[in-house]
Amino acid sequence: MLSKKPIMNRTVLYKIFEFSSAHRLSSDKLTSEENWDIYDKCNNINGHGHDYYLEVGITGDIDPETGMTIELEEMDIKVNALLQQLNYKHLNKEVPYFKTTISTGENIIQFLWNELDKSFTNQQLYYLKLWETNNNYFELKR
Ligand code: NI
């Protein structure tokens, strides 16, 4: 006889968030010429902007009372609290972390992961995907 119990009670809920930021790619370990060679137009002295999309995957057991992995409102509050620190900001100039860390997509997603992992305790954070443009994205998973 088949058991009614599912094989796995663990699921992942994904939700997409947006934020817009300006930044400039520049390394103080490189000369102006080297910076321009590596980062090209992303090294533009006055910066440039992106409309970022962030896909967040949260995992957990399905709550038998609600039938949900996590309440969407809780997810919104935690992610938006973090994205508010970046939204409509010049990352290099206004976000302390990126005053000393180059604001590449790789470093932005690392920052987002570390911060969200503090908010979503018990290893609830499972997946992040950061779209920088329509053609490129960065990914992290547990
Ligand atoms: Ni850029």
CA of 25 to the centre of ligand 1 (A): 7
pLDDT at 138: 98
Cβ atoms of 140 and 56 within 8 Å: the answer is no
CA of 100 to the centre of ligand 1 (A): 17
Among positive and negative, which fits the CA dihedral 112, 107, 136, 52? positive
Cβ atoms of 134 and 62 within 8 Å: the answer is no
- Quick check: 7 pLDDT over 80? no
CA of 22 to the centre of ligand 1 (A): 7
- Dihedrals φ, ψ of 100, to 5°? -120, -5
DSSP H helices in the chain: 32-39, 72-83, 91-94, 97-100, 105-119
Cβ atoms of 112 and 84 within 8 Å: the answer is no
Q: Which two tokens stand for residue 66?
A: 């609600």
In CATH, what class is 10-141? alpha beta
Indicate the domain borders of the chain: 10-141
Q: How many C-alpha atoms does 45 have within 13 Å on its Cβ side?
A: 2
Instruction: List all residues 6 or more positions away from 83 whose beta carbon is below 8 Å from its beta carbon.
Output: 17, 19, 54
CA of 23 to the centre of ligand 1 (A): 6
More confident of the two residues 8 and 101: 101
CA of 90 to the centre of ligand 1 (A): 11
CA of 78 to the centre of ligand 1 (A): 25
Whether the model clears a pTM of 0.85, i.e. scores above it, the answer is: yes
CA of 142 to the centre of ligand 1 (A): 26
pLDDT at 14: 97
Q: Which two tokens stand for residue 3?
A: 């058991």
**How far apart (Å, rounded) are the C-alpha atoms in residues 68 and 120?**
16
Q: What is the tens place of the pLDDT at every residue in 110-122?
A: 999 999 999 999 9
Q: How confident is the model at residue 20 (pLDDT cuts 50, 70, 90)?
A: very high
Q: What is the tens place of the pLDDT at every residue in 46-104?
A: 999 999 999 999 999 999 999 999 999 999 999 999 999 999 999 999 999 999 999 99
